[in-house]
Structure 1
Amino acid sequence: MQDQPQRSFHDDEIDLVELFHSLFKQKYLILAVAGAVTLVAAAYAFLATPYYQVQSVLRPVDRGSIDELNGTGVYELTPVEALNLVGAGLSSYENRLAFFRGNQQLFAGLIEPGRSLEQTFEEFNRSAFTMLQVDPKKTAGQSEFVGLSLTYPRGVDGVEVVNGLVAFVLDAERARIDADLKVLIANRLFNIEQKIEAARASYEASKETQIASLLEQDALSRAQLQDELQALRAELKTRRQSRIMVLDEAIQIADSLGIKKPTTPSSMSDSQRQGQVVRTEVNSREIPLYFMGSEALRAERDALSARRSDDFVEPRISEIEKELALLSHNRQVEVLEKRENEDLYLKDLAEWRQEAAQLKGIKFDSSQLRLVRLDQQALEPLSAVKPKRALVMVLGLGVGLMLGVFVALLRNIFRPKAKAPGLA
């Protein structure tokens, strides 16, 4: 009765020695399972479709390669920007699809019945292409580059696909730059034409304004001179009429005094004296007009009454008539109106025409433009990247051994145990 607990304790324990001994007895089973799994893995490794990998790497060119483009003064591009343009073109789905459609012979191994070209390419594009770029987290000591990696199955000419796609994208980017350059040149020329047209309109408006201003100034000056002339003539007429009235009054006085000939107060007093007298006359004021005598006064009055124009009396009238004659024709207005080639008077026209001539003289051959430097070209791979036969077989062997041991353990667990001797 005392040995029962100890025996129960040993029944619950796993005897490792016995376990290894059991596995050793089933070594052929384990090896058979491992061999079978290894054969399956080997069959997969040798029969599965092999996949290969190629890549192409592009780096920035030196500035001299794109200097001709920048020298146009219209399109500015740095080497890094050119590299980024090409990188964006390589990652463009549109460019890849266009290349696929134009080179279907390179993808002959992908074509399957019942699937459209777009469906075939969509699956291939999603799993096969990988863009290579500088890690933004590890930029120290790394130069800029852009690459394209392609993993492809047998039946696809991966080398030609990568190299052809790179060349296709480069040609597409050159064509796009060429088109952009032409558009920029056309826009610049159109802008210059707009400036010239605007300058012409401004000049026409300025000329018309100048002519109107000159004519207005002439009209104002003419009106002022006419007013001055009219005022002067009225003044002269008034002065003449006043003179006639003064003469009439002087004639009456001269007649009443009996003065017919011009005389002086002294002469009148001398005629009434006898003897010889030496006389000195000093006059400090004007002698009255009637001393001129009635005959002279009547002669002057008749002349003034018969006068038809007083213009010759005032020199300013002749000056006014001269100025009015000059104002009858504005030569500056005539010259402005007779201008033929008015473009010659446009400001900045020579500069604009020079710029337009330079733009029209731009002859840029985009086919010779080197956008990137081909650092690594896609080459035929030496071996497939998958499946890795050696690794698959090693893994198959390892999995087979584990599976064989597992099967052996299951057999050991479910196998009926032999009864211990001495037990009833």
Structure 2
Amino acid sequence: MSSSLRVSPFSHAEEIDFIQLVKITLQRKKLVAAITVSAGLIAVACAFLITPTYEVSSVLRPAAINELDALNRSEVYKLPPGEALTKVGASLESYETRLGFFRANPGFFKEFEAPGRTLEQSFEEFNRNSISLILPDPRKADSLSAYIKLEMTYPKGVDGVSILNGLVNYAIDTEREQIASDMRVIIKNRLTEIAGKLDAARANYEVDKEAKIASLSELDNLRRAQLQDERKALRAQLKTLRTDRVAQLDEAIGIAKSLGIRKPSTPSLLGDSERSPSNSVMRTEINNQQIPLYFMGVEALEAERNALMKRKSDDFTEGRIAQIAKELQLLEANREIEVLKSREKEDLFLAGVQPLRAEEARLRNLSIDMAGVKLVTIDRPAQEPLTPFKPKRLLVVVIGIILGFIVGCALAFIWAFIRNRQSFYRTLPISSSGAGATSLDGEPPRIS
């Protein structure tokens, strides 16, 4: 009866413990040391051959209030320190600002350029991998004040300090120019608005002046017409009175002729003359009744009638006509209208424009030295780093040595395992059938 049995190479081997591992390592210490030293040398070579990468940073904080006082007191542009810091931070993060600095300083970025890539592609790699903007965490209460931190990593051979400081200054200058441009636009718009209001005031003044001139001319024309009508009525009245007077005189002359009164007389004198022809008596007559006109006598009445008949104008008999002539003469020229028309600097007479003129003069004379306006405080400019950011050479060498030691130990264990397996197969008995040669593939022979 025959039977077959598979025997594991370690079926009779002792159990491997930590002490055995140490023994194996000590037995192959030259191998382990050689691999460890080789790995360490490779790590040292990598640590010193890999291009070092450096890191620099710059911290910006809000400017003092007095730095922005001139800008805020202009009443044109309000910019608190916190808002100024935000504007500069937005400019630093702006793709356009970074690209503008990249284009303005091509000498700084030669290391980032590569054949076959455009300027924008080279900048895109730099912008994506080399520079970052860090803001304070609003959830943390330990931050004493707002700040903006700009970090940049760069390989050896690149002037990262100049690039970062230059970018910060470029962003600040860009934002300062933008503020100056905004101020110019605001001032221009306000001056345009003031000019429009002044033009409206001039138009209103012209309308008011023309209306006043028209009103004065109308009043003069009305007054002139009234005076002329009054003078015409007075002359007609005087003419009628003269005609009536002539008729009265004609009637009185007729009566006087019939009574034979040639000279002026009185009723009593007329009665006495019929009784006594003496002319040596002087009489004084007191009478409260009006003596009839014919007692003036024919001679006096005819003289008055002839004078009235020869009269060509009755104006001198009425003082109101002379007064009317005087008023008409004054109405020939309205001095107020002449003064209104002869004004040269009419802007001086515009109403309610004094504040506008004062604001216009202030805006035109407003001068702010934007170069002296400090938008932010550079709390920490970029400084030349003392050590590279990566690689950490000591750490790389230590890791290389550790990995070399681990690999050396692993090879020593594998070598020991293979030797033990070969020794095991050599000690196995050979079968009587002569077919008990141990195969190299690890399959043990069959035992009958």
**Do both share a fold (TM > 0.5)?**
yes
Cα RMSD, aligned residues only: 4.7
Partner of 1:296: 300
Asked whether the equivalents of residues 54 and 159 of structure 1 are also in contact (C-alpha less than 8 Å), the reply is yes
Asked whether the equivalents of residues 343 and 349 of structure 1 are also in contact (C-alpha less than 8 Å), the reply is no
Instruction: Tell me if 1:306 matches 2:306.
Output: no
Partner of 2:134: 132
Instruction: Tell me if 1:379 matches 2:379.
Output: no
In structure 1, give the amino acid aligned to 2:319. Answer: P
* 1:120-176 deviation per Cα after TM superposition (whole angstroms, max 9, x unaligned): 211221232221223233356531212211133344332221111112222223333
Report the 3-state secondary structure (helix = DSSP H, G, I; strand = E; otherwise coil) of the residue aligned with 1:216.
helix
Q: Deviation of residue 58 (structure 1)?
A: 0.9
Partner of 2:425: none
Partner of 2:336: 332
In structure 1, give the amino acid aligned to 2:376. Answer: V
In structure 2, give the amino acid aligned to 1:125. Answer: N
Partner of 1:94: 96
* 1:307-340 deviation per Cα after TM superposition (whole angstroms, max 9, x unaligned): 1111111110000001111111222333333334
Q: What TM-score comes out, normalization by structure 1 length? A: 0.74
Q: Deviation of residue 259 (structure 1)?
A: 4.2
Unmatched 5+ residue regions in structure 1?
A: 1-16
Q: Give the Cα–Cα distance (whole angstroms) in 2 for the partners of residues 207 and 345 of structure 1.
A: 10
Asked whether the equivalents of residues 259 and 293 of structure 1 are also in contact (C-alpha less than 8 Å), the reply is yes
Q: Deviation of residue 341 (structure 1)?
A: 4.1
Asked whether the equivalents of residues 249 and 301 of structure 2 are also in contact (C-alpha less than 8 Å), the reply is yes
Q: 1:60 aligns with which of 59, 62, 71?
A: 62
* 1:188-210 deviation per Cα after TM superposition (whole angstroms, max 9, x unaligned): 55555555555544444443333
Q: Deviation of residue 231 (structure 1)?
A: 1.0
In structure 2, give the amino acid aligned to 1:369. Answer: V
What is the correspondence of 1:67-146 to structure 2 with a 5 Å cutoff? 67-138=69-140, 141-146=143-148
Q: 1:368 aligns with which of 369, 372, 375?
A: 372
Asked whether the equivalents of residues 53 and 154 of structure 2 are also in contact (C-alpha less than 8 Å), the reply is yes
C-alpha spacing 1:256/1:35, structure 2 compared with 1 (3 Å): farther
Partner of 1:247: 249
Partner of 1:228: 230
The number of aligned residues is 398
Deviates more, 1:79-88 or 1:245-254: 245-254
In structure 1, give the amino acid aligned to 2:386. Answer: L
Q: Deviation of residue 238 (structure 1)?
A: 1.5
Asked whether the equivalents of residues 134 and 142 of structure 1 are also in contact (C-alpha less than 8 Å), the reply is no
Q: Deviation of residue 53 (structure 1)?
A: 2.1
Asked whether the equivalents of residues 136 and 143 of structure 2 are also in contact (C-alpha less than 8 Å), the reply is no
C-alpha spacing 1:252/1:377, structure 2 compared with 1 (3 Å): same
Report the 3-state secondary structure (helix = DSSP H, G, I; strand = E; otherwise coil) of the residue aligned with 1:219.
helix
In structure 1, give the amino acid aligned to 2:99. Answer: L
Unmatched 5+ residue regions in structure 2?
A: 1-13, 418-440
Instruction: Tell me if 1:177 matches 2:179.
Output: yes
C-alpha spacing 1:306/1:132, structure 2 compared with 1 (3 Å): same
Instruction: Tell me if 1:167 matches 2:166.
Output: no
| Percentage identity across paired residues of the two chains | 50
C-alpha spacing 1:307/1:275, structure 2 compared with 1 (3 Å): closer
Q: What TM-score comes out, normalization by structure 2 length? A: 0.71
* 1:215-271 deviation per Cα after TM superposition (whole angstroms, max 9, x unaligned): 222222111111111111111111222222233333334444444444444445555
Q: Give the Cα–Cα distance (whole angstroms) in 2 for the partners of residues 18 and 326 of structure 1.
A: 145
* 1:28-64 deviation per Cα after TM superposition (whole angstroms, max 9, x unaligned): 79x98x979x879888766655433221001122222
Q: Give the Cα–Cα distance (whole angstroms) in 2 for the partners of residues 199 and 306 of structure 1.
A: 64
Q: Deviation of residue 306 (structure 1)?
A: 1.8
Deviates more, 1:84-93 or 1:257-266: 257-266
What is the correspondence of 1:35-50 to structure 2 with a 5 Å cutoff? 49-50=51-52
Q: Give the Cα–Cα distance (whole angstroms) in 1 for the partners of residues 444 and 228 of structure 2.
A: 154
Deviates more, 1:340-349 or 1:214-223: 340-349
C-alpha spacing 1:293/1:228, structure 2 compared with 1 (3 Å): same
Q: Give the Cα–Cα distance (whole angstroms) in 1 for the partners of residues 21 and 269 of structure 2.
A: 187
C-alpha spacing 1:27/1:202, structure 2 compared with 1 (3 Å): farther
Report the 3-state secondary structure (helix = DSSP H, G, I; strand = E; otherwise coil) of the residue aligned with 1:147.
strand
* 1:328-370 deviation per Cα after TM superposition (whole angstroms, max 9, x unaligned): 1222333333334444444577776665555454454333332
Partner of 1:315: 319
